[in-house]
A and B are shown apart, each in its own frame.
Chain A
Amino acid sequence: MRRAPAALLLLAVLAFPLVFDRPFPRHVMIMIFLYGALATAWNILAGYCGQISLGHAVYFGIGAYTSTFLVREAALTPWLGMLVGAALAVVVSQAIGYPVFRLRGHYFAIATIGFGEIVQTAVLNWDLVGGARGLFVPIKRPDSLLNLQFHDSKAVYYYLALGLLALALGATRWIERSRRGYYFRAIKEDQDAAASLGVRVAREKHAAMAASAALTALGGTFWAQYVLFIDPESVFPLSLSILICLVAVMGGVGSLWGPLLGAVVLVPLSEGTRVLLGGTGKALDLLIYGALIMAIAVFQPAGLMGLMRQLRGRRAVAPRRQARPESAA
Chain B
Amino acid sequence: MGCVYALVAAGLSLIFGLMELVNFAHGEFLMLAMYVAFFAWSLAGLDPVVGAPVAAAVLGAVGWLTYHGLIRRVLAAPMLAQIFATFGLAVFLRNGAQFAFGVDFLTVQDPWLAGRLSLGGLFLGLPQVGASVVALGAFLALYLFLSRSETGLALTATAQDRQAASLMGIDTQRMFALGWVIGGACVGVAGALLATFFYIYPDVGGPFALLAYVTVALGGFGNVPGTLAAGIVVGLVEALAGLLIPPAFKYSVVFALYLAVVLWRPQGLFGRF
Residues of A within 8 A of B (CB): 46, 50, 52, 54, 99-100, 102-103, 105-107, 109-111, 113-115, 117-118, 121-122, 124-125, 242, 245, 249, 253, 280, 282-284, 286-287, 289-298, 301
Contacts and interface: CB of A to CB of B under 8 A. Distances in A.
Contacts, number: 124
A179 to B, nearest CB: 24
Interface of B: 21-22, 24, 70, 73-74, 77-85, 87-96, 98-99, 210, 213, 217, 246, 248-249, 251-252, 255, 258-259, 262-263
A287 B92 contact: yes
A121 B259 contact: no
29 contacts: A52-B80, A54-B87, A103-B262, A105-B79, A107-B262, A113-B210, A114-B255, A117-B210, A117-B251, A118-B255, A122-B249, A122-B252, A125-B249, A242-B87, A249-B80, A253-B80, A283-B95, A287-B99, A289-B88, A290-B88, A290-B91, A290-B96, A295-B88, A297-B77, A297-B84, A297-B88, A301-B77, A301-B78, A301-B81
A125 B77 contact: no
A122 B252 CA distance: 9
A77 to B, nearest CB: 34
A298 B258 contact: no
A109 B82 CA distance: 12
A101 B262 CA distance: 11
Given A99-B263, A111-B262, A286 B81 contact: no
Contacts of B80: 46, 50, 52, 249, 253, 301
Contacts of A105: 79, 83
B63 to A, nearest CB: 16
Contacts of A99: 259, 263
B258 A290 contact: no
B99 A283 contact: yes
A10 B252 CA distance: 46
A114 B258 contact: yes
Given A114-B258, A298-B74, A301-B78, A290 B89 contact: yes
Contacts of A113: 210
A125 B248 contact: yes
Contact of A298 (B22, B85, B90): B85
Given A111-B259, A117-B255, A121-B249, A293 B91 contact: yes
List of 7 A-B pairs having minimum Cβ-Cβ separation, nearest first: A293-B88, A290-B92, A290-B91, A294-B88, A297-B85, A301-B81, A106-B22
Given A121-B249, A124-B248, A294-B89, A287 B258 contact: no
Contacts of A242: 87, 91
A294 B85 contact: yes
A111 B254 CA distance: 12
Given A245-B84, A287-B95, 10 more contacts: A46-B80, A52-B80, A107-B22, A109-B22, A118-B252, A289-B91, A294-B84, A294-B89, A297-B85, A297-B88
A206 B72 CA distance: 34
A106 B93 contact: no
Given A118-B252, A121-B251, A291-B92, A107 B217 contact: yes
A121 B256 CA distance: 14
A121 B85 contact: no
A291 B88 contact: yes
B150 to A, nearest CB: 31
B77 A290 contact: no
A280 B102 CA distance: 9
**Of listed B93, B248, B259, residue having the most chain A CB within 10 A:** B259
Contacts of B79: 52, 105-106
Contacts of A111: 258-259, 262
Contacts of A110: 22, 213, 258
Contacts of B89: 290, 294
Nearest to A285: B95
B31 to A, nearest CB: 14
A2 B249 CA distance: 54
Contacts of B92: 287, 290-291, 293-294
Nearest to A102: B263
Contacts of B93: 290
A297 B234 CA distance: 32
B88 A114 contact: no
A284 B80 CA distance: 25
B230 to A, nearest CB: 15
A283 B97 CA distance: 9
A227 B214 CA distance: 38
A118 B207 CA distance: 12
A170 B83 CA distance: 29
A125 to B, nearest CB: 5
A125 B82 CA distance: 35
A6 B248 CA distance: 51
Contacts of A284: 95, 99
